[in-house]
Structure 1
Amino acid sequence: MTAVAGAGRDRVTLTGLRVHGRHGVLPAERELGQFFVIDATLWLDTGPAAATDDLTLTVHYGELAQALADVVAGEPVDLIETLAHRLVRVCLADPRVDTAEVTVHKPAAPVPLPFTDIAVTVARSRQDLAG
């Protein structure tokens, strides 16, 4: 992992969130849509939540999943790079999150050759967005 991971921080990871969206440059992708799979890893200090057993002191992964799903199901974009950047900003909207990494998988991308997956991964820290 690169330096964006943070120095020895804890992680909350959401893997395999499957959401129907209408992203892509081809008219059929916009009209019919397809499923996208989202993975997100958030670096933060989970110590306060663990010490008090208080959900409000950490990332609520159910709310995170819904916020990410709302973006994927929402306004279409041409590129999954654009979608990944939008999603990483959602993750960093929580002030407890220092760094976030989001992967957008497009397993049904219109590629005329056999493939397993196409994905874009974006990693950003709070400092990256501030600068």
Structure 2
Amino acid sequence: MSLDRITLKGLRARGRHGVLAAERELGQEFVVDVTLHLDTAPAAAGDDLAKTVHYGELAQALAEVVEGEPVQLIETLAERLADVCLASALVAKAEVSVHKPAAPIPLPFDDVVVTIERSRA
């Protein structure tokens, strides 16, 4: 059986993640994209929110992680966000991208993105 997808793109939250002291002190905006892989047929069949992932609540939980305890690497942040996505037993797999558009790079660039994929063990 193939799985359906729920995608949340462009979630913005301010965090204090980074290796440099200035990043920890000043903070910056991070952008998060997640794709959840799950079977949405039971929710659709009964028009039942309890049988799917409430993306509004997911967005809030992801923002709280970004705004929460600082980490040095966005790889670590992505892992924490994936844990939030997989907290629902309905989710079989999650893909998480963390964008750091204001990364301290002394050259012109558009974005820095770390993308991870995690599955339920």
Which TM-score band (shorter chain)?
A: over 0.9
Pair 1:25 & 2:25 matched:
no
Structure having the higher helix fraction is: 1
- Aligned partner of 1:75 in structure 2 is 69
| Aligned counterpart in structure 2 of residue 109 of structure 1, from 95, 99, 103 | 103
Is 1:40 the equivalent of 2:34? yes
Match among 83, 106, 118 for residue 89 of structure 1? 83
Give the C-alpha shift of residue 97 in structure 1: 0.1
* Matching residue of 1:100: 94
Distance 1:18 1:74 in 2: 14
In structure 2, the partner of 1:61 is: 55
Structure 1: gaps spanning 5 or more residues: 1-6
Instruction: State the Cα deviation string for residues 24-61 of structure 1 (Å, max 9, x = none).
Output: 01011000000000000000000000000011110000
SS at structure 2 position matched to 1:19: strand
SS in 1 for 2:79: helix
TM-score, L = length of structure 2? 0.99
- How far does residue 75 in structure 1 lie from its aligned partner after superposition? 0.1
Identity of aligned residues (%): 71
Cα distance between partner residues in 2 of 1:122 and 1:94: 18
Partner of 2:6: 12
Letter in structure 1 aligned against 2:75: E
* Unaligned stretches of 5+ residues in structure 2: none
TM-score (norm 1): 0.91
| C-alpha RMSD of the superposition | 0.7
The 3-state SS of whatever aligns with 2:44 is: helix
Q: Which 4+ runs in 1 deviate beyond 3 A?
A: none
SS where residue 104 of structure 1 aligns? strand
Could you tell me which residue of structure 2 aligns to residue 121 of structure 1?
115
